[in-house]
Each structure stands twice: as C-alpha cells, then as structure tokens.
Structure 1
C-alpha cells in the first residue's frame, strides 16, 4: 500500500524558499499573489512577500503555547480580496480557552479583531487541541481535539473531539446535523483540514495518542469511532463508526494536508500530507476523490513538516518547524 522508497514525480525537485523561521504552523497564500500569511506557534501572524519576511508581524496574540497549544490554524475568507478577512485558531492565555478570531488586514496589519468562536475548553495537559480552520462551500470548518478525554469525542453536545462547521460570522448553519456547531464526531486530535477546491469535500488528518494515526474523508453527522474503550486497530466505538480511509498503526503524526490542483500535472488530483517525522506522502485518490487507492512517500528527512499547500506558480509548498520549501519543476 505504501511505496518503500521516497521518490518525487519525474521532472520535479524540492528547493528551499525561506529559512530561519520560528516554528511556522500553517500557511495561507493570497490567491494570485506572492503574499503569504503564516502562523508562528508562539503567537505571531507573519507576512512573507516573495522571499522577504516583513519585520513587523501582522498581529501578535497573547497565547498559551504549552505542549501542542499556541497560534495554530489560519485561513483567508473566500472573498478576502474584497473584505480582507483573515481567521486564526489559537489558545488564549487568559482565560485559558481555544478561540477562532477574525482580523481585517489593512496595510500589512491585522486590525479590527473579532472573536468568531470562543469558549472551546483547553484543559491543563496541553495536548490534543486540534487547531485548524478551513473554508469549504462558504462555510468555516474548525477542528478540535478531545484533550485526552476520549468520552467527550462521542458526545455530540460537546465541541471537543469534533469537526465543527460555522457560518463565516460564527453563527450555526441551519443544515448542521445536531442543531449545534458539530459536523462530525468521534475524533481524537484532528490536526489537519483540507478541501477539494470548488467543492464541499473535506478531508482531515488525525493523531492518535499511541497508535492509529488517520486520514479521513469527512461527512455530515458521521461518527469516526474514537471514544472510551477504543483499542488499537479496531473498528471503533459508538453508533456506526466509520473506519479511517488510511490508518497508520505506527504513529507518524500527520499534519495539515492539501488537495493539489495546480501547474504540475504529475502531481494533480491527489492529497498531499506531511508528518512530524519529516515525510511528505501522496494519497492517490479514486475518480470522485472520496477514497484513497494507494499512498506513496515522495519526500523524506525534511524536518518536522507542519503544513503542505499550493502557492505561487502553482507549485507545492511545505512548512517545517524552521523553514518553507517547495516542490517545483526541474
């Protein structure tokens, strides 16, 4: 199911783009430009123009960055060019909680902060926080971890261990399945979110505590099987649990993926995901992009990969804990 040796597609190569960075977590390119917004775990929203890093952050948030907490996911509103809205998921230091905050970007500064989602519990252990934000079909998807309390993942009245779905202003869409923000449940630590451009198909990576990291195709109201009593390699718990599309029994810590549709035809039409062991995998999808036919490691030894996304030139960009790199044509 997995190719034994890492191999980039023919006529492509990996090259450095920007080094010397301070733990970038997530990237958001402004479409049609060379401007990149990215989050630093310590609390800064940074701007990269071409390969030049703005000396002044767009914003600095007061975050708790213990363990896996901090400033995590970032997303631009689909109408960013007109409304200038930027969204981030972060762990607020005091009072301790996870929030989604919206900024309006003007002249390189993140202004008019507005809390869109608040009060997501952040327990004292600092782990399994989720932390991604992603737009698909005009809705805002937010991933939350269960904070090492498996019982919460099966509770559809609780926002932990879930994929949440909101309107861009933070209100609850009328077609959500449980009458609240919950879109899917039974998750451990869904650290990554992606969608197929132009569709509402949403994908997630999920970290396990000691086994069974996952890649899932997210569906409305579906139970993804994590909860009290789960055992490694089993079908899952709760009503009608959905088995993962891909399961990695030896944990790899998969991070934020992307569905690639760009200039490099050799890469087109599949999902790419990095992991904290320094690998980048290609998940080769079926014809309707709802199943993974096979997977292939295309890069190794890149350092902890935190995010993969399409950027300027249609190339594939990856963030590590110290740098940004890209896969380009030879």
Structure 2
C-alpha cells in the first residue's frame, strides 16, 4: 500500500490520465540542408554544458571534471573547481548563468560529488564566480543523498524560470524501485530553490514531514534536458526511458510523472517493466520516443537566423547520433527532422544570444550552425 507521502491526494485531481502522443511521426532527413556545421572548438571528449558570457566567449564543461573558457580562438582551463566524481554517466555536467549575471556574476554548476553519506557519489549543485580564470566564492546549494557507487542516472540540467527560481534535475541513480516515487528520498526529481539555495515556502511538499522540501516534481527517470518555453514560460523537460519510452514533459508543481509505475518502455533485456502506460494521478508525457533516441540537451529556437525553424524544439540524440528538430503545434509534435546525421553523439544544444545555434558532439567538439 502506498504511503501518503508518496502520492499526495490533493494533487490527484489536477493530473491528466489521457494517452501520450506516441512517436508515430516518422523522422525525415531533408534532401538539402539550409546550414553548414562549423567546428568552433575541437578536441573535446564530452562537452556536457555550455553558456555564453555577455562580454564574449563560451564557458563549457567536460564530464571528466574540467571547466574551460573559449574566446577569440583560444581555450583556457578554469582553475579551483570542486572535486568531481567522474564515474559512468556522472561527472561535471551542466552550467547555467544567473539571469542577472551581468550584475552579480553567479555561475551555477551541476556535478557528481562524493561529499556526504555512503560510498560513491551523487549529484550536487553549486554556484561560484569567475575571477582571473578561477572559481571563487564557491557555495554548495544542494547535494543529493545517499551516495551510490552505481554509474547511471545522475541527471542533470539547470534552468532558471521567469521568476528567478533555480530549477534542476537529478536522475534516480538506477534505483528505480525506491527513489523516483518516494518524496522522502532524492533521485528521479525536479527541484526548485531560490538562487541562493533557500527553499521556497510555496514548494509543494514543504509541509510534509520527512519530505525533501526542494522537490518540485517527481516520478522521473533520468532527465537530461530542461528548457523554458519562450511563449508560455513553462518548464519543459525530457528524460531517458529504458528501452523505448523516452519522454518530453511539461513540468508542473507537485506532479507525479509515473516512473516506473507507468512507462512506454521495457527493460533492456526485452522483458516488461509494467503493463501500465497510464494511471490516475500520474501525468502522461507530452511526447514519447519509441525506440529510444537517448535525448540530451534541449533548446527552443527563437532566432530569426533560421527562418524555417523558429518555434521548433531541438533535442540531441546520443543513441542515433543526430540533432532532432521537432515542429510543434498546440503542444503536439507535427513534424520531426534529422539534422547533423551521423556527426556523433549529440550531448547538448543551445541558442546563443546572437541567435546562432551551438551543438556539442562527443569526441569532436562544439559546432555552430551557420545558415546558408
């Protein structure tokens, strides 16, 4: 029998039980491309996160634990980073700038850390400032617990909403039967904090005994994409399913997204996880990919530089090694297109302030998509 901590009754009436839009839209490969992929930074093993600094240059993370700064054709390594637990899918992951970065200088990082209880590591969130190519004024804002020696499902992306709240994802660390459905445990969640790490009073579970007060939504597997919709301001997320069942979700306060009780995926061995794809009180994905594309990185196109792409959603595919463009209409996927096919495992995609799209490809580097 489920504990009341796991399924808060007062949220059930808000949730949808309709079926997800399945991946029935065949992905197209355009006969001609309207852009060229220009390699800007080469020789990168795994550029997980990247941000564009207001005065120029790209700050990017390498999963191995290095933070680097590119400007005017030169790459320099940032010093004084925290100790990073580089294991499996964990390491130095996402980077995000404070919305008021030009005035306060805060940079936010997600990384796997050994701090805390237990062997191994778990996902941590910190902020710091960049001074003379060093991280200074470091502040740890959140550390998931307990640690685990498992190498999978750390998450982790970072995003700020329009009200300035800090949102981030942590995967369920491969412990699907315990973590994602239990709000007293970290893992398989989206979290929400003030920019300084304080917990907002209006978070959904602040008044529930033993609950992790920073949780914003739960029932996730391994979210590696977060982005704000440019028109609605809603937080969109995508996450890895198992074999099949990768999802796109619109994240809502206190909502349960179902993993692993409901899923469109199966075990990697081919055996079923569950016979349920929906259940009352659990939210359906906006879209699901079967077979899995292994999504990583997520960006909405608002730039006028790509006339045919404006309003599209871009998602990297690790499994099939391409950049996917999804056209949307009324929150429905109406068209899918394969870009940069065969370039390699696409880890991240972001739109820069100047309107150009940048894409990081594992083992190669960071590309700029230049319209023809």
TM-score normalised by the chain length of structure 1: 0.91
Answer whether contact 2:150 2:173 (CA < 8 A) is retained: yes
Further displaced range: 227-236 or 116-125: 227-236
Task: Return the offset for 1:295.
Answer: 2.4
Q: Partner residue of 1:281?
A: 324
Structure 2 matches for 1:173-322, cutoff 5 A? Answer: 173-179=200-206, 180-197=213-230, 200-228=233-261, 232=265, 236=277, 239-264=280-305, 265-276=307-318, 277-287=320-330, 290-311=331-352, 313-321=354-362, 322=364
Q: Distance in 1 between matches of 2:31 and 2:249?
A: 24
Q: Which residue of 1 aligns with 2:13?
A: none
Which deviations, in whole Å up to 9, do the C-alpha atoms of 1:49-72 show, x marking residues without a partner? Answer: 143212x32543321111001001
Aligned-partner Cα distance in 1 for 2:312–2:356: 14
Deviation of 1:14 after TM superposition, in Å, equals 2.1
Give 3-state SS (helix, strand or coil) of 2:354's partner: helix
- Alignment RMSD: 2.2
* From 174, 177, 181, the counterpart of 1:148: 174
Change in 2 beyond 3 A, CA 1:156/1:20 = same
Q: Distance in 1 between matches of 2:329 and 2:142?
A: 35
Deviations 1:295-329 (A, max 9, x none): 22233112111100012531111001130012111
1:4, distance to aligned residue in structure 2 (A): 4.3
Distance 2:168 2:53 in 1: 20
Within 5 Å, give how 1:114-133 maps onto structure 2.
114-133=139-158
Aligned residue for 2:202, secondary structure, equals coil
SS of the aligned residue for 1:268 comes to coil
Q: 1:119 to 1:36 in 2, by over 3 A?
A: same
TM-score (structure 2 length as normaliser): 0.81
Q: Does 1:109 align with 2:142?
A: no
Secondary structure at 1:313 match in 2: coil
Helix, strand or coil at the partner of 1:285: strand
- SS of 1:173's equivalent? coil
Q: Which residue of structure 1 lines up, in the alignment, with residue 56 of structure 2?
A: 34
Q: For residue 6 of structure 1, what is the aligned residue in structure 2?
A: 29
Farther off after superposition, 190-199 or 22-31:
190-199
Aligned residue-pair number = 326
1:73 lines up with 2:94 in the alignment: yes
1:201–1:192 distance in 2 versus 1, CA, 3 Å: same
Larger Rg over CA atoms: 2
> CA distance change for structure 1 residues 105 and 218 in 2, over 3 Å: closer, same or farther?
same
2:144 & 2:187 partners in 1: Cα distance?
A: 11
Which whole-Å deviations, capped at 9, do the CAs of 1:15-51 have from their partners, x for residues lacking one?
22211113111111124x4311111101111111143
Whole-Å separation in 2 of the counterparts to 1:24 and 1:209: 24
Partner of 1:136: 161
Q: Deviations over 1:237-279 (max 9, x none)?
A: 6652222122112122100101121132322112100111311
Consecutive unaligned residues of structure 1, counting only runs of 5 or more, are none
Residue 237 to residue 10, structure 1, CA distance change in 2 (3 Å): closer
Pick closer, same or farther for the CA change 1:273–1:39 going to 2, 3 Å: same
